[in-house]
Structure 1
Amino acid sequence: MFAAKRASKVLLGSAVSAAAVFGAVSMVNQSRDTNTLQNDVSVSTIKKSNVDLPSRANLLSRLSKTDKFDVLIIGGGATGTGCALDASTRGLNVALVEMNDFASGTSSKSTKMAHGGVRYLEKAFWELSKAQLDLVIEALNERAHMLNTAPHLCKILPIMIPVYNYWQVPYFYVGTKMYDLFAGSQNLKSSYLLSPSRASEVAPMLDASKLKAGLVYHDGSFNDSRMNSSLAITAIEKGATVLNYVQIKQLVKNKETGKVEGAIAVDRETGDEYQIKAKVVVNATGPYSDRLLQMDQSPTGLPDDSVLQKINENATVSTKIAVPNPKMVVPSAGVHIVLPSFYCPKEIGLLDAQTSDGRVMFFLPWQGKVLAGTTDIPMKQIPENPTATEADIQDILKELQHYINFPVKREDVLSAWAGIRPLVKDPRKADSGSGSTQQLVRSHFLFTSPSNLVTISGGKWTTYREMAEETIDEVVKVGQFNSKPCVTKKLKLVGGENWNPNLSALLSQKYHLSSAMSEHLANNYGTRAPLICELFNEDPRNKLPVALAGQENVSVFGHVDYDSFRYPYTIGELKYSLKYEYARNCLDFLMRRTRYAFLDAKQALNAVEGTVKVMGDELGWDSKKRQDEIQQATEYIKTFGV
């Protein structure tokens, strides 16, 4: 972005440098009046709606001072935050606690697709399974709701199935048309057939000599962890008390009836304990569900960690076990890798429907890169930090090489990770020990234990909203609440209010941003983006990449890491995440509020110290805390395939 040979010095802290980095776009005279559209992204309106957002200290105070909540939700992933939003909009007094960060587990490690599942439709056909078909129809309906409620985070993505045998052309064509049909009025766009030559033009990286056709259908692509944090923040704005880094230590039970009446929680930042009373408690901890169920079965509500402590006695960060020998969750690891953009068309995804071992592989454009995956590896225990092994990475690369007509190289892998996908089975039924998967629930699973603990598990990202609706229906029944009806089908999440597709252009015009920066902000923050732009205006240093935080006085080009400018993650964006999105540590920002480490782990490593510098200054960290943060973030990001 810079030419070092043309100049010898630059004052990076100056407004001139910031303008050079991000580019000041020329204003084009418009033939139509844009005042109405600009009102949609009015800074004053957006600021007014955010002024009342409570601080973490205020939320903790509310947690301690509330005599009894209507519902306590344990778990801050997609399902938990979805439940908090649903319950709060029905008029219930809601508390949610998450022991780590929002989307710190499975909810940030998905395939980033809002989809019905073409493979489930195929299974429904061949197995004559109504359950599989119902799952597809349910997900197709919910896909439309995701695109509507978070239009800045969820986009329509065409996906092409390369066809290499003539007999497969009618088979896949009928399949994609059936996919359209079952979507009904919620269908995004009609599927269509491409000739071999047209398919090669769309995806020149494919081997054209083998192509017989291309089938294109449409699904949704979204930013999973930002969707998760948006659910949490929207729930807070609707009155819920939602907190990350608060861990459940014990379930509180009535001594006479044995019913769960709340929990004792610990603020992991301060060590302070809180006794949270609630009429109904929800277990929405995903892969960790069995741990809460074990606590539920204990008369004291305490976990038995003796086995866990023995297993983890000499474990490393990547080998620690979170839940040994789960009884309800049947875990498997889904592995994904991120590659440069030339591995896939920029505007269309690819689906390999027939891999060498029968699995389905996706290669999708995402955040300017290519997301490839996934493997499906059965596991017996649930790790604390699942990681992608070198064998997993090579497995995906090997499959990719089958139809890419240039060398697939290991050094092209920018990041790699693993997430736990929980299939579930009813823990109340005896396990035959045969290893059969017949008892597995392919959709989500909801039940209430004799102690009135409501547990929701399984399912997938696309169906989070319906899972939440069914869960809160059960909560209303258990708690005998007189609540309002569910409204989440049409409720806009933060950033989706008053959104329009011209937002990127309006940001570029009003704040003189480059098109790349305005698109980044519009697509990740929606109508909240002007808050970040105002931070740019307040201090030009806020436009700098986070990797350069603390280096404002560097004046010689040779001392600057120019790769930092390839990514749009700025000091201003970091300050916004601290003030408005409850980011509490370095990884919260680099992995979940932004997707830096998921997109390029090596470059994210270079941004750790700058991120810690800004967060330390804003949150008042001492030198030890800063060093601990640098060490922990560095160790964790290094597990992402670098």
Structure 2
Amino acid sequence: MSRQKTESEVARTTGRLGPAERADNWRRLGSEEFDVVVIGGGVTGAGTALDAATRGLRVALVEARDLASGTSSRSSKLFHGGLRYLEQLEFSLVREALRERELMLTRLAPHLVKPVSFLYPLTHRFWERPYTAAGLFLYDTMGGARSVPGQKHLSRAGALRMVPALKRNALIGGIRYYDAQADDARHTMTVARTAARYGAVVMNSSQVTGFLREADRIAGVRVRDVETGEETEVRAQAVINATGVWTDELQRLSGGRGRFRVRASKGVHIVVPRDRIVAESGMILRTEKSVLFVIPWGNHWIVGTTDTDWNLDLAHPAATKADIDYILEHVNTVLATPLKHDDIEGVYAGLRPLLAGESEETSKLSREHAVARVAPGLVAIAGGKYTTYRVMAADAVDAISGDVAGRMAPSITDRVPLLGADGYHALVNQADQLAAEHGLHPYRIRHLLDRYGSEIHDVLALGDERPELLKPIPAAPNYLQAEVAYACSHEGALHLEDVLTRRTRISIEYAHRGIDCAEPVARLMAEVLGWDDARVAREIEVYTQRVDAERDSQLQPDDQAADAKRSAAPEAREKLTEPIS
């Protein structure tokens, strides 16, 4: 006899994170006992939840703000093999990163992770080409040329044909190589949804306020729903702290001493229109401190990054005028037509969680990660790099094997495609038919496929009863209105900033930074989330104040002044308190 599926069962099959699933997940947090609670909804926490769930463990993932709201939405958006780590003789890290990149490109997330080419301009005669070629040969041999083309040597004329934007005297030749890129926020959210598909309880806007103890061991966490103010206790055999730059704060909250400390290094990127740099390839440029990337990003370029210590607000790192000037100054040394401040459409600042004590220069800190069992029932993981999140997650789950009853299965996430990967390649070949069926241009279907993969059917289905949802968002035509509704019904978006900054990237891809489409987007969200007019008005006001604060911070001369401006904006999640998980 058939029966109707419960909300929990639907969520487990689809990975849906909508309002009904959120209510059910909150009930489950307080009523079930878990094998492991993972704190932190960045890529490491989401990856840890997926790893644990696919080993057959009962898993809860809690995040105080939004999925990927910290470091995991503010990276250079590269799945890169770590070419520059070869110079630091980090061979095992490069080999590991290249293997992970290959898995993402071919098996786990081909809909989200794509090849991208870079030109490395040569500026020194005689020694630089053979030196760089030797490094790239080693890189290609270790896996850098698997699934993507290997290095290609170019004369000055050939390099200038590939990147006409370069000054003729800025190079004597070049070498092209390939890496991979992804929308980091979408990728992290998809990892979390895949964990939900395999049974994990995934809850954003859920702040850890304390730890539960039984005798000398950690036995779970106290959690506050920062949307409603409700609190509950979540029982678990083990807790994993995967909070990145908040690792030390959570460690203090647990009452124990950590085995390592985490330093925050600020990285700033700017976004400019594609036509401001005439090029068929991205670029990687050496600076006196590190490297500067010019990365193709749809109709835009992302240029960055900086690398400086940050000791202020961890939730809202602020870019300064000095940061932006640094990027412009260095990229303009090679561009025939310099970039100006007026060319900038978007700016974002993120914090890298680096293991403290290894070096005073953040750009030279090892990107290896560390896992420590800091108390019975409590494990912390920190460091590492986005590309190797899956390896970090497996190590973190391995570390709780002594806390969880029964034999633990080995990690299998190298064989678990992310939500939307299955069937993606066939759908790419069917893009023209899909376009005709839904009255859309094929380029629009391909854009959606590279954001949702085979989940595109659920997005397009929203237009069956309401055809207007398949029209572009006013003032943000790269995105459809259906994507806003889907972000709320399936992807866990709870606030206007969640949609404008992470489910889409409107906040950095348009010069208005989302202000011009805030009202129509908020109205679309209201239909799914049940907002009244007062709530719509508040969401628009809070988001507008956020954008104004960010713009003001980017005119300030130093971190302290920029932090003061950015911190003045209100939180979308009003009931958050410090320390934040």
Q: 2:290 matched to 1:340? A: no
Match of 1:505 in 2: 432
Q: 2:93 matched to 1:135? A: yes
Closer, same or farther: CA 121–391 of 1 in aligned 2, 3 Å:
same
Q: Which amino acid aligns with 2:39?
A: I
Stretches of structure 1 that go unaligned for 5 or more consecutive residues are 1-45, 125-131, 300-325, 548-563
Closer, same or farther: CA 81–457 of 1 in aligned 2, 3 Å:
same
Tell me by how many angstroms 1:232 deviates.
0.8
Secondary structure of the 1:479 match is coil
Secondary structure of the 1:339 match is strand
Match of 2:531 in 1: 621
Find 1:591's aligned residue among 501, 518, 530. Answer: 501
> 2:43–2:389: 8 Å Cα contact kept in structure 1?
yes
Q: 2:193 matched to 1:262? A: no
> 1:71–1:95: 8 Å Cα contact kept in structure 2?
yes
In the TM superposition, 1:386-465 aligns within 5 A as 386-425=317-356, 442-465=367-390
> 1:70–1:279: 8 Å Cα contact kept in structure 2?
yes
Find 1:180's aligned residue among 134, 140, 150. Answer: 140
Paired with 2:295 and 2:229, the residues of 1 have a C-alpha distance of 42
Find 2:398's aligned residue among 467, 470, 473. Answer: 473
Tell me by how many angstroms 1:506 deviates.
4.1
Closer, same or farther: CA 184–624 of 1 in aligned 2, 3 Å:
closer
Q: 2:24 matched to 1:58? A: yes
Q: 2:500 matched to 1:575? A: no
Tell me by how many angstroms 1:171 deviates.
1.7
Find 1:82's aligned residue among 43, 47, 62. Answer: 47
Tell me by how many angstroms 1:510 deviates.
2.9
Paired with 1:225 and 1:55, the residues of 2 have a C-alpha distance of 21
Secondary structure of the 1:598 match is helix
Tell me by how many angstroms 1:381 deviates.
4.1
Identity of aligned residues (%): 35
Closer, same or farther: CA 351–293 of 1 in aligned 2, 3 Å:
same
Q: 2:285 matched to 1:352? A: yes
Query: Mean alpha-carbon deviation: is it higher for 200-209 or for 275-284?
Result: 200-209
Tell me by how many angstroms 1:51 deviates.
9.1
> 2:219–2:238: 8 Å Cα contact kept in structure 1?
yes
Match of 1:517 in 2: 444
> 1:341–1:370: 8 Å Cα contact kept in structure 2?
yes
Q: Which amino acid aligns with 1:611?
A: V
Q: 2:537 matched to 1:635? A: no
RMSD: 2.6
Match of 1:281 in 2: 239
Secondary structure of the 1:217 match is strand
Superposition TM-score, scaled by structure 1 size: 0.79
Match of 2:515 in 1: 605
Closer, same or farther: CA 185–367 of 1 in aligned 2, 3 Å:
closer
Closer, same or farther: CA 347–236 of 1 in aligned 2, 3 Å:
farther
Secondary structure of the 1:477 match is coil
Paired with 1:266 and 1:78, the residues of 2 have a C-alpha distance of 22
Closer, same or farther: CA 105–134 of 1 in aligned 2, 3 Å:
same
Superposition TM-score, scaled by structure 2 size: 0.87
The size of the alignment, in residue pairs, is 537
Match of 1:193 in 2: 153
Paired with 1:150 and 1:375, the residues of 2 have a C-alpha distance of 28
Paired with 2:361 and 2:292, the residues of 1 have a C-alpha distance of 25
Paired with 2:433 and 2:283, the residues of 1 have a C-alpha distance of 32
Secondary structure of the 1:405 match is coil
Match of 2:177 in 1: 217
Stretches of structure 2 that go unaligned for 5 or more consecutive residues are 1-9, 555-581
Secondary structure of the 1:76 match is coil
Paired with 2:547 and 2:16, the residues of 1 have a C-alpha distance of 34
Paired with 2:15 and 2:368, the residues of 1 have a C-alpha distance of 40
Per-residue deviation, residues 298-346 of structure 1 (Å, max 9, x unmatched): 69xxxxxxxxxxxxxxxxxxxxxxxxxx971111100100011124456
Q: Which amino acid aligns with 1:218?
A: Y
Closer, same or farther: CA 197–140 of 1 in aligned 2, 3 Å:
same
Match of 1:151 in 2: 110
Match of 1:537 in 2: 464
Paired with 1:271 and 1:473, the residues of 2 have a C-alpha distance of 34
> 1:86–1:488: 8 Å Cα contact kept in structure 2?
yes
> 2:16–2:196: 8 Å Cα contact kept in structure 1?
no
Per-residue deviation, residues 219-240 of structure 1 (Å, max 9, x unmatched): 1111100001101111111000
Q: Which amino acid aligns with 1:589?
A: V
Q: Which amino acid aligns with 1:169?
A: R
Per-residue deviation, residues 135-192 of structure 1 (Å, max 9, x unmatched): 1111111111222311111001111101122222222222211111122784632111
> 1:507–1:530: 8 Å Cα contact kept in structure 2?
no
> 1:362–1:372: 8 Å Cα contact kept in structure 2?
yes
Tell me by how many angstroms 1:440 deviates.
6.0
Match of 1:553 in 2: none
Closer, same or farther: CA 436–110 of 1 in aligned 2, 3 Å:
closer
Paired with 2:279 and 2:437, the residues of 1 have a C-alpha distance of 28
Paired with 1:135 and 1:262, the residues of 2 have a C-alpha distance of 33
Larger gyration radius, structure 1 or structure 2? 1
Closer, same or farther: CA 473–439 of 1 in aligned 2, 3 Å:
farther
Closer, same or farther: CA 166–506 of 1 in aligned 2, 3 Å:
farther
Paired with 1:537 and 1:422, the residues of 2 have a C-alpha distance of 44
Closer, same or farther: CA 162–75 of 1 in aligned 2, 3 Å:
same
Closer, same or farther: CA 241–571 of 1 in aligned 2, 3 Å:
same
Tell me by how many angstroms 1:536 deviates.
2.3
Tell me by how many angstroms 1:86 deviates.
0.6
